[in-house]
Chain A
């Protein structure tokens, strides 16, 4: 079980209150009409599956219902960092 810090509530809560929403920082092509099929396909369907640090989106579904980002190590499951939407991670893979 994760014990996740919600940056909006300002305290740790059980994983039961949260939902994972997959990889964070996925940028939509600025001009979808003129991007290539490959660019669109990558944006739409391809996700990272790293062994190591992973930036992902979580939502405090049963609590304040806000989305935020979590940096998690996929091997140790350790949560390295929690940061709000619109912010950039401080802990990044080398």
Chain B
């Protein structure tokens, strides 16, 4: 496919974090998870942890364009997963397959602007890189009953036979939506919209009640 623009367009880039010393607030800031973790139970079937203030970057390009794939790999240190519903992880960078031409990259929040800039510098042709860090937050669910909570909340099959470690699905989650990745044997990562973070935090507390919910800060 030929590229729409033969000339490289100028992309306006803005660092959303002007100063690392300015304290950011995660969408669950008001829930004061540190206090909840301190006062709450220490053992239970489900462990909840918010990975606050991560950096999320949406990357769209043509998966059949070897040049673009190579450029993205050079920046990220890992090759983009082109197999549907897979993810890769290397150090503090993780990449999720979202669609045949779309990936979600998660890096530590303070690194997001560097990765975003590097992707813009490396890629050429018809592509899109958007720093969507403000729009999402990441929940980690673990423990022996974490899978039971997912089964109550989402219509996808999360049985280990159908949901191996590393698999990613974007799906309906408790009438909202989430990008669910199996990060480990009993460990699931939920990337959720920040506007739904509070609702899903309440939902997860309710859904985990019968197994015992442990909150980690």
Contact = CB atoms under 8 A, between A and B. Distances in A.
Interface of A: 8-11, 13-14, 16-17, 62-66
B169 interface: yes
A63 B102 CA distance: 12
B170 interface: yes
B99 A62 contact: no
Shortest beta-carbon contacts, A-B, top 7: A14-B155, A64-B99, A10-B84, A62-B172, A63-B170, A9-B84, A16-B172
Contact of B155 (A8, A17, A65): A17
Nearest to B100: A8
Given A13-B155, A16-B155, A63 B84 contact: no
B200 to A, nearest CB: 15
Interface in B139-196: 155-156, 169-172, 177
A65 B58 CA distance: 14
B136 to A, nearest CB: 16
Interface of B: 84-85, 98-100, 102, 155-156, 169-172, 177
23 contacts: A8-B99, A8-B100, A9-B84, A9-B169, A10-B84, A11-B84, A11-B85, A13-B156, A13-B171, A14-B155, A14-B156, A14-B172, A16-B155, A17-B155, A17-B172, A62-B170, A62-B171, A62-B172, A63-B169, A63-B171, A64-B99, A64-B102, A66-B100
B179 to A, nearest CB: 10
Contacts of B102: 64
A77 to B, nearest CB: 18
Query: Helix, strand, loop or mixed for chain B's interface?
Result: strand
A48 to B, nearest CB: 29
A9 B155 contact: no
Nearest to B99: A64
B84 A62 contact: no
Contacts of B84: 8-11, 64
B100 A62 contact: no
Given A8-B100, A16-B172, A62-B171, 5 more contacts: A14-B155, A17-B171, A62-B177, A63-B170, A66-B99
Contacts of A16: 155, 172
Contacts of B169: 9, 63
Contacts of B177: 62
Contacts of A10: 84-85
A66 B102 CA distance: 11
A87 to B, nearest CB: 15
B130 to A, nearest CB: 15
A47 to B, nearest CB: 28
Contacts of B172: 14, 16-17, 62
Q: Taking each of B85, B98, B102, which has the highest tally of chain A beta carbons within 10 Å of its own beta carbon? A: B85
